[in-house]
Structure 1
Amino acid sequence: MGTPLGDFVRARRDSTRPEVLGLPEYSRRRAPGLRRSDLAARAGISVEYLTRIEQGRDRNPSAAVVNALADALGLDAAERDHLRYLAKITGGACPSHTRPVPAPRDVRPDVRRTLRLLEPGIAVLTNRLGDLLAHTSTFAALVDGTGLLDADAPNLTRYVFTDARARTFFTDWADVADEVAFDLWRGPSVEHAEWLTADLATHAGPDFTRRLHRHVLPRRGVLRLNHPSGTGLRLHREILELAADGQQLVVYLPADDSTAQAVDALLRPRHAPLRAIS
């Protein structure tokens, strides 16, 4: 059985073209990407050791080896951070030894007050599992009619993969699906991510599991929405990390004048207070 670290190294090796790293192209390759021998040589480790890492038989490579693999694969800063994170969780508690449980949904009073100050802006408090913990009334108005807030405990990740309306609401559904699947790796804890992952693997099928294990860092560009009113919206997302809480405050800002006007028209009649989801 592989590990997240081994899966990521193997996926990046398979997707890296030799010529990008200054190596000659291979002829008659059975699979694309780098040979194990080339990656091992560039990282200064043996082929046998690299094989053990990729197959999950070595779960504790040193920081020096992790950095050498990052250099050898030509990873960018975000990919390096992800590699280091996977090395940390792979060398720690094995997910199979934890008891999957849902993440807590508590919201600190000061965070609630911060959300109130953002009214009438579009803002939501979430975690990396996709739990929607609290939001402004304008966020509720924006997603009204999409089904996103219909559940007693709304979850963006579950909505994206199991509600057919999500594929219409998100213009670039595949990109959003990539984002929420990737974020599960940075969930509040292993046992919390395991709880949601087990549920989604059953109900969402290969659309979810393929993305979860691909380890492709999402682009996170402008968010494009098809509002139920028939209006197309383009929004920037400013994400404020609340590291101590394992939560994120996401503020949505119009990306162009037409979106600003459309949002103003959609939200003008609404002046409801902040809504918290318990």
Structure 2
Amino acid sequence: MGTPLGDFVRARRDSIQPESLGLPDRGRRRSPGLRRSDLAARAGISVEYLTRIEQGRDRNPSIAVVNALADALALAPSERDHLRYLAKITGGVCTAHTRPAPASRQVRPSVLETLRLLEPGIAMVTNRLGDLLAHTGTFEAVTGGSGLLDTDPPNLTRYVFTHPGARTFFADWGDIADELAFDLWHAPSVENSEWFTAELAPAAGPDFTRRLNQHTVPRRGLLRLNHPSGHELRLHRETLELPADAQQLVVFLPADEHTTESVAELRHQARNPLRAIS
């Protein structure tokens, strides 16, 4: 049985073309990407040790080994952070059979006040499980009719993977699905992530499981929405981490004049106040 750390190392190795690292092309091989022997040599470890890591038989590599693998794989900063995170949770995987409690859904009063100050902007408070904890009235106007806020409690990850309208509402559904699956690895705790995955996986099916295990660090580019009213919205996203609460404040900014006018029209039609969900 593999581990998140081993899966990520193997996935990154398979995605690298040897010539991109200045290595000679040795012709056709059974599997794509970088040979295990080449990666081991670049990282300064044995092939046998790298095999144990990839197969999940070594769950506690040293920090020096993790950093050497990051260098050998030429990882980007965000990918290095993910590798270190996976090394941490792989070494301390929860083996308890009791069902962990879900993440807290409480939002601090000062965070709610910040949301009020952001009105009439588009903003929400969420966690990495996708729970929508609070949002501005304009956020509700922009997502109105999509079905996102119809469940109680609303959850963005569940919506994206299980709601029939999500693939239409999000113009770049695949990119958003990758983001949300990736964020589950950085949920408030390993236990909470496992709790949510157990709830979601049966409903979301193999597409969710595949994205969860591919460990692709998302780019989080422009958000494009197809509003049910016919408006096409293009939004930039700014995410402010709230580490003490294991939550995030996300602000959405119109990327063009057409979106600015469309948001104003949707807000005028809805006239919804700030809403906190707890």
Structure 1 stretches (4+) deviating beyond 6 angstroms? Answer: none
Distance 1:221 1:63 in 2: 31
What do the CA deviations read for 1:204-247 (whole angstroms, capped 9, x no partner)?
A: 11110000000011121000000011110000001000011000
TM-score between the two structures when normalised by the length of structure 1: 0.97
Separation (CA, whole Å) in 2 of partners of 1:237 and 1:96:
37
Aligned residue for 1:217?
217
Match of 2:86 in 1: 86
Is residue 198 of structure 2 the alignment partner of residue 198 of structure 1?
Answer: yes
Does the 8 Å CA contact 1:122/1:139 hold for their aligned counterparts? yes
- Partner AA of 2:39 in structure 1: L
Q: Deviations over 1:176-204 (max 9, x none)?
A: 00000000000011111111111221111
- In the superposition, the TM-score normalised over structure 2's length comes to 0.97
Show the 5 A alignment for 1:89-100: 89-94=89-94, 99-100=99-100
Determine helix, strand or coil for the equivalent of 1:268.
helix
Aligned to 1:56: 56
Find the counterpart in structure 1 of residue 121 from structure 2: 121
Q: What residue is the counterpart of 1:23 in the other structure? A: 23
Is the CA contact 2:160–2:166 (under 8 Å) kept in the aligned structure 1?
A: yes
Whether 2:32 is the aligned partner of 1:3: answer no
Count of aligned residue pairs for this structure pair:
278
**Percentage identity across paired residues of the two chains:** 75
Instruction: Note the C-alpha offset of 1:271.
Output: 3.8
Q: Would the aligned equivalents of 2:141 and 2:272 in 1 still touch at CA under 8 Å?
A: no
| Structure 1 residues 88-145: Cα deviation after superposition (integer angstroms, max 9, x where no partner) | 1111233566633321101111111111111111100000010000011111111110
Question: Residue 24 of structure 1: CA displacement?
Answer: 1.0
- How far does residue 157 in structure 1 lie from its aligned partner after superposition? 0.3
8 Å Cα contact 1:43-1:71 kept in structure 2: yes
* Structure 2, unpaired ranges of 5+: none
Q: 1:17 to 1:95 in 2, by over 3 A?
A: farther
SS in 2 for 1:102: coil
Q: State the match for 1:38 in structure 2.
A: 38
Tell me how far apart the structure 1 counterparts of residues 98 and 92 of structure 2 sit (CA, whole Å).
11
Closer, same or farther in 2 for the Cα pair 1:100/1:134, shift >3 Å? same
Q: Distance in 1 between matches of 2:87 and 2:97?
A: 17
**How big is each residue's C-alpha offset from its partner over 1:1-27, in whole Å with a ceiling of 9 and x where there is no partner?**
111100000000011110011101131
Distance 2:269 2:123 in 1: 18
Q: Read off the aligned partner of 2:63 and give its amino acid letter.
A: A
- Alpha-carbon distance in 2 for matches of 1:96, 1:224: 41
- What is the CA–CA distance in structure 1 between the aligned matches of 2:138 and 2:262, rounded to whole Å? 13
Superposition CA RMSD, Å: 1.2
1:165 aligns to 2:161 (yes or no): no
Counterparts of 1:56 and 1:96 in 2: how far apart (Å)?
Answer: 19
> Is the contact between residue 226 and residue 233 of structure 1 (CA under 8 Å) also seen in structure 2?
yes
